[in-house]
């Protein structure tokens, strides 16, 4: 097991170290000015020195991202279940949801700011909207794609609609829900950056803009590293959750010989 | 009195604006503690008959009676063992049984106790905590049968439960089921393609025609209970087998039998 993990980890680890080394060497050999491209060592030193500032901003962003994710996932699940149980509502509403999903975030963000001010509310709404869609749509697909023979079994023994939802459709849609969550996680961080860029007084996106305006390119790079790390960490958590939830392997299909219906 | 009775059941489907008759005036019955088998060629509407008994579909004409009561189109009165084991992959063996018993109205604790007790009795308690995918096909079908047996329902419907198993496992499963059934004597309606399987297990056999299915003949199987494992060596067995083959009108009708 440990050996296996190592085998998977070392190639990207080596290429990463090589990349950083090349970057560092280029900076010192070609004497590149730090305001054009700071060296990794300079960025590291800066990150260490400015830790209290960026960690406070990162924490604010993390709170925003997690709240938005939670709201988005909750509404996503609720909407998926409602649309699944009510096919008429589904056919009436889904074109709107899909159309709405194509409203550019560039328009949506400023509009929300106009309607709700510069506080937390518009940012939270924006994040919720962005996270909601991938969750709702993958979950809806999962709810509709259950094994026909399991459904047939439940119907034959007289299960209610609620039994079928609880004992078949919801558990079967969990893997779909988690892949939706993985997409939502990646969207959420970049959307938070956009929201903080529009107007904020805290957050790592806000920190980045301030540093840009002050031509502190080393700090900008530091902020980028923080943001990428945050995004990867959240994705890693979602992937871990996926493994915990989908502990049962999918069944291999047995050949179906015999009677026609 | 019959536990289960189908009276003059007819059913047809409309496909591409054409009507296909599937069942034509079927009348059958299963007595208390009786093992009754339906045998017929592929596509003779046996699964449709089960869907009608389960109340998942309704017949064009005729009635379904359980315990003497007209229950046409009423669900939740039978227990069911399908051809594929249909165990839920995210639940352990024990929870699969518990879940089915809960659907049948049992309280969770009671269902759990009953599942564990029975898994021990049939010496499957070692797999109670396993997930279905680690079990062999035969083992999965044992769990599926136990799940059907434990449901507190008047009639058990077994739809070709051994069709997907290899010949050796199939024979083994027939013996296993026979012993368990002879202890319990539940009312069973069983569907199979295999004439030998039908003769080995049943009290009575209905031979069905190709679609639209009619009952060609009702055969009372004369062998005593408990059935001997070598019942297939008796001359009467061979004679009955020949009769049924002739009725089904195809010399290789038992090609999937053991």
Q: Tens digits of per-residue pLDDT, B32-55?
A: 999 999 998 887 788 899 999 999
Average pLDDT over residues B122-129: 92
Average pLDDT over residues A165-171: 95
Instruction: Please provide the CATH number assigned to the domain covering B2-78+155-253.
Output: 3.40.50.300
Q: Taking residues B81-89, what's their average pLDDT?
A: 93
Tell me how many residue pairs between chain A and chain B have CB atoms under 8 A apart: 98
Inspect the interface and report whether the beta carbons of A157 and B78 lie closer than 8 Å: yes
The mean pLDDT value of chain A amounts to 89
pLDDT tens-digit profile of B171-219? Answer: 999 999 999 999 989 999 999 989 999 999 999 999 999 888 999 999 9
Chain A residue numbers touching B151 (CB-CB < 8 A): 157
Give the pLDDT band of residue B110 (cuts 50, 70, 90).
very high
Residues in chain A: 261
Residue B22 CA to chain centroid, in angstroms?
A: 19
pLDDT for residue B153: 92
Instruction: Kindly state the percentage of chain B with pLDDT values over 90.
Output: 79
- Residue B250 confidence (pLDDT): 56
What residues have CB less than 8 Å from A243, skipping those under 6 apart?
none
Domain parsing of chain A, residue ranges: 38-147+173-245
CB–CB contact B88 A171 (8 Å): yes
Q: Dihedral angle at the C-alpha atoms of A202, A205, A208, A212, nearest 10 degrees?
A: -100
CB-based contact A153 B86, cutoff 8 Å: yes
pLDDT at B66 over 90: yes
**What residues have CB less than 8 Å from B200, skipping those under 6 apart?**
B174, B178, B227, B231, B232
**Residues of chain B numbered 73-102 and touching chain A (CB < 8 Å):** 75-80, 82-86, 88-90, 99-100
pLDDT at A1: 53
Q: Quick check: A152 and B80 in contact, CB under 8 A?
A: no
Give this prediction's pTM.
Answer: 0.83
Residue A164 C-alpha, separation from nearest chain B C-alpha, in angstroms: 10
Instruction: From B186, B178, B183, select the one nearest B162 (Cα to Cα).
Output: B178
- Side-by-side strand order, sheet with B2-15: B18-31, B2-15, B61-66, B69-70
CA proximity to A156, closest of B189, B216, B208, B79: B79
HEC-encoded secondary structure of B87-98: CCCCCCHHHHHH
The answer to whether B42 faces chain A, any CB pair under 8 Å, is yes
Spatial neighbors of A247 by CB under 8 A, at least 6 apart, are: B90
Q: Residues B148, B83: contact at Cβ < 8 Å?
A: no
Q: Hey, what CATH class is A38-147+173-245 in?
A: mainly alpha
Residue B192 to residue B199: CA distance in whole angstroms: 11
pLDDT, average across residues B83-89: 92
Q: pLDDT confidence of B105, banded at 50, 70, 90?
A: very high
pLDDT, mean of residues B52-64: 95
| Nearest by Cα to B5 from B78, B66, B77, B59 | B66
Interface confidence, given as ipTM, is: 0.90
The Cβ-side half-sphere exposure at B65, using a 13 Å CA radius, reads 18
Q: Are A251 and B51 within 8 A, CB to CB? A: no
Residue of B nearest to A173 (CA): B90
Residue to test with chain A: of B38, B50, B89, B149, most A Cβ within 10 A: B89
The pLDDT value recorded for residue B116 is: 95
CA neighbours closer than 13 Å in the CB half-sphere of residue A90: 15
In terms of CA atoms, which chain A residue is nearest residue B133?
A251
CA distances from A224 to A64, A214, B175 (A): 18, 16, 69
Q: How far is B235 from chain A (nearest CA, A)?
A: 29
Q: What angle do CA A23, A27, A29 make, to 5 degrees?
A: 115
Chain B residues with beta carbon closer than 8 angstroms to that of A152: 56, 82, 86
Contact B133 A252 (CB under 8 A): yes
CA nearest neighbour of B257 among B204, B169, B201, B196: B196
What integer is the mean pLDDT of B223-236? 91
Asked if pLDDT for residue A253 goes beyond 60, the answer is: no
The whole-angstrom separation of Cα A4 and Cα B56 is 50
The CA distance from A185 to the nearest CA of chain B, in Å, is 25
Cα–Cα distance for residue pair A55/A10, rounded to 1 Å: 29
Tens digits of per-residue pLDDT, A57-105?
Answer: 999 999 999 999 999 999 999 999 999 999 999 999 999 998 988 888 8
Cβ–Cβ < 8 Å for A130, A65: no
Nearest 5 degrees, angle CA B251-CA B253-CA B254?
115
**Pairing between β-strand B204-208 and β-strand B61-66 as defined by DSSP bridges:** unpaired
A201 cis-preceded (ω within 30 degrees of 0): no
Over chain B, what is the mean pLDDT?
91
> Please, what sign has the CA dihedral across residues A167, A171, A177, A181?
positive
- Average of pLDDT values for A119-125? 91
Q: Which two tokens stand for residue A134?
A: 């991938």
pLDDT in tens, A10-65: 999 999 999 999 999 999 999 888 888 999 999 999 999 999 999 999 999 999 99
Mean pLDDT of B134-150: 93
| Chain-chain contact of B88 with A150 (C-beta, under 8 angstroms) | yes
| Cross-chain CB nearest to B77 (options A153, A158, A255) | A158
pLDDT mean over A246-253: 57
- The domain segmentation of chain B, as residue ranges, is 2-78+155-253, 87-152
Strand, coil or helix: B158: strand
Query: Alpha carbon of B112 to those of B24, B95, B148: distances in Å?
Result: 43, 8, 15
Q: What is the pLDDT of residue A250?
A: 52
d(CA A108, CA A122): 10
Q: Could you report how far apart the first and last alpha carbons of chain A are, in Å?
A: 47
Chain A residues within 8 A of B137 when measuring between CB atoms: 254
- Shortest distance, CA B65 to any CA of chain A (angstroms): 16
**Tokens standing for residue A178:** 């988690």
Give the C-alpha separation, B218 to B200, whole Å. 16
Under 8 Å between Cβ of A135 and A177: yes
Percentage of chain A exceeding pLDDT 70: 94
Mean pLDDT value across residues A124-153: 94
CB atoms within 10 A of CB B22: 25
Strands B35-39 and B204-208: parallel
Chain A CB within 8 Å of residue B152 CB: no
């Amino acid at each position: 097991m440990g050996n296996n993990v190592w085998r998977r980890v070392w190639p990207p680890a080596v290429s990463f170290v090589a990349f950083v080394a090349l970057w560092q060497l280029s900076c010192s050999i070609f004497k590149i000015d730090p305001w054009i491209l700071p060296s990794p060592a300079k960025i590291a030193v800066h990150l260490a020195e400015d830790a209290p500032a960026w960690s406070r901003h990162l924490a604010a962003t993390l709170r925003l991202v997690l709240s938005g994710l939670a709201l988005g996932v909750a509404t996503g699940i609720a909407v998926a279940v409602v649309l699944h149980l009510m096919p008429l509502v589904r056919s009436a509403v889904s074109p709107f949801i899909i159309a709405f999903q194509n409203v550019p975030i560039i328009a949506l963000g400023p509009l929300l700011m106009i309607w709700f001010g510069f506080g937390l509310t518009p940012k939270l709404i924006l994040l919720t909207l962005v996270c909601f869609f991938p969750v709702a749509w993958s979950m809806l697909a999962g709810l509709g794609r259950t094994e026909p023979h399991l459904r047939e079994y439940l119907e034959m023994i007289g299960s209610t609609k609620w039994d079928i939802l609880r004992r078949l459709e919801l558990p079967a849609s969990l893997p779909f829900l988690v892949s939706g969550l993985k997409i939502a996680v990646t969207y959420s961080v970049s959307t938070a950056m956009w929201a903080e860029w529009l107007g904020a007084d805290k957050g790592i996106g806000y920190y980045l803009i301030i540093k840009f305006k002050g031509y502190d390119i080393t700090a900008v790079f530091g902020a980028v590293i923080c943001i990428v790390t945050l995004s990867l960490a959240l994705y890693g958590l979602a992937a871990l959750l996926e493994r915990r939830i989908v502990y049962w392997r999918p069944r291999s299909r047995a050949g179906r010989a015999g009677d026609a219906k | 009195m019959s536990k289960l009775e189908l009276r003059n059941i007819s059913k047809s489907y409309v496909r591409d604006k054409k009507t296909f008759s599937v069942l034509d005036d079927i009348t059958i019955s299963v007595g208390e503690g009786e093992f009754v088998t339906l045998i017929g060629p592929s596509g003779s509407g046996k699964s449709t008959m089960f869907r009608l008994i389960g109340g998942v579909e309704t017949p064009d004409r005729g009635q379904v009676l359980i315990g003497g009561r007209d229950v046409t189109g009423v669900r939740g009165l039978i227990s069911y063992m399908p051809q594929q084991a249909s165990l839920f992959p995210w639940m352990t063996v024990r929870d699969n049984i518990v879940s089915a018993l809960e659907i049948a109205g049992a309280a969770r604790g009671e269902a759990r106790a009953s599942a564990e007790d029975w898994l021990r009795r049939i010496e499957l308690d070692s797999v109670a905590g396993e997930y279905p995918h680690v079990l062999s096909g035969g083992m999965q079908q044992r769990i599926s049968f136990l799940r059907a047996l434990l449901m507190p329902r008047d009639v058990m419907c077994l739809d070709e439960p051994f069709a997907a198993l290899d010949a050796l496992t199939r024979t083994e499963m027939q013996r296993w089921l026979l012993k368990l059934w002879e202890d319990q004597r539940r009312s069973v309606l069983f569907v199979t393609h295999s004439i030998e399987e039908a003769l080995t297990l049943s009290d009575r056999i209905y031979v069905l025609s190709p679609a639209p299915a009619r009952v060609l003949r009702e055969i009372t199987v004369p062998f005593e209970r408990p059935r001997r494992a070598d019942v297939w060596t008796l001359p009467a067995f061979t004679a009955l087998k020949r009769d049924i083959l002739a009725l089904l009108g195809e010399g290789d009708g038992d090609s999937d039998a053991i």
